Amino acid sequence: MPDITFIHSDGTEQGLEAPVGVSVMQAASGAGVRGIIAECGGSAMCATCHVYVDPAWVERLPPPLSNELEMLECTADERLPTSRLSCQIKLTAEMQGLIVRIPANQQ
């Protein structure tokens, strides 16, 4: 059960535990984390679960596939090199301590 920390755009932090195998988006939705809308339900089709991955973690995650890269061009807030769709990050035991920031806008 890795711990994940979400940092909201106002700086407040929210930590939660989630089981291995679910996506960061599912972990957030399950815990009612504000700012992760995930309208399409996790199919990389809406860009409303956009997060900025903590720079220390970017290289430790499996890289995005082409469909995620294309959808990242549609984010409401600026796309940065650390941008990911949280529905496409599936939690593994190695992700214990993952930190992601939630953008101010998703739509």
Partner 1 sequence: MNPHEPIPELDSDPYTAENLLDPYPMHLRIREAGPVVWLKPYGVVASARHAEVHAVLNDHENFISGAGVGLTNFNTEPAFRPKSLILEADPPLHTQTRTVLSRILSPKVVMQIRATFAAEAEALVERCVDKGEIDGIHDLAQIYPLKVFPDAVGLDDDGRENLLLYGDLVFNSMGPRNELLAKSAERVGPVTQWIMEHCQREHLRPGGFGDQIYQAADAGEISHEQAPLLVRSFLSAGVDTTINGIGNALFSLAHHPGEYAKLHADAALARPAFEEALRWESTAQTFFRTAARDCEIAGFPVRENTKVLCLLAAANRDPRRWPEPDSYKIERRPSGHVALGSGIHGCVGQAIARLEGEVILTALAKRVKRIETTGPHTRRLNNTLRALETLPLRLIPV
* Pairing of the two strands 98-101 and 3-7: parallel
- Token reading at 5: 């920390």
Q: CB-wise, 55 or 105, nearer to partner 1?
A: 105
71 near partner 1, judged by CB under 8 A? yes
Residue 63 Cβ, how far from partner 1 at the closest point, in Å?
17
Question: What are the φ/ψ torsions at residue 101 (nearest 5 degrees)?
Answer: -105, 145
Q: What is the DSSP letter of 78?
A: P
Answer yes or no whether residue 58 interacts with partner 1 by CB under 8 A: no
Q: Using the rule CB under 8 A, is 66 a contact of partner 1? A: yes
Site for partner 1 in 76-95 (CB under 8 A): none
DSSP state of 106: -
Which listed residue (16, 40, 69, 80) binds partner 1 by CB under 8 A? 40
Single out the segment in contact with partner 1 by CB under 8 A; choices: 1-9, 12-20, 40-48, 92-100: 40-48
User: With binding defined as CB under 8 A, does residue 73 bind partner 1?
Assistant: yes
Element (H, E) at 14: strand 13-17
The whole-angstrom separation of Cα 20 and Cα 54 is 19
**CA dist., res. 52 & res. 79, Å (int):** 9
Task: Summarize as ranges the residues that interact with partner 1 (CB under 8 A).
Answer: 29, 37-43, 45-47, 66-67, 70-71, 73-74, 107
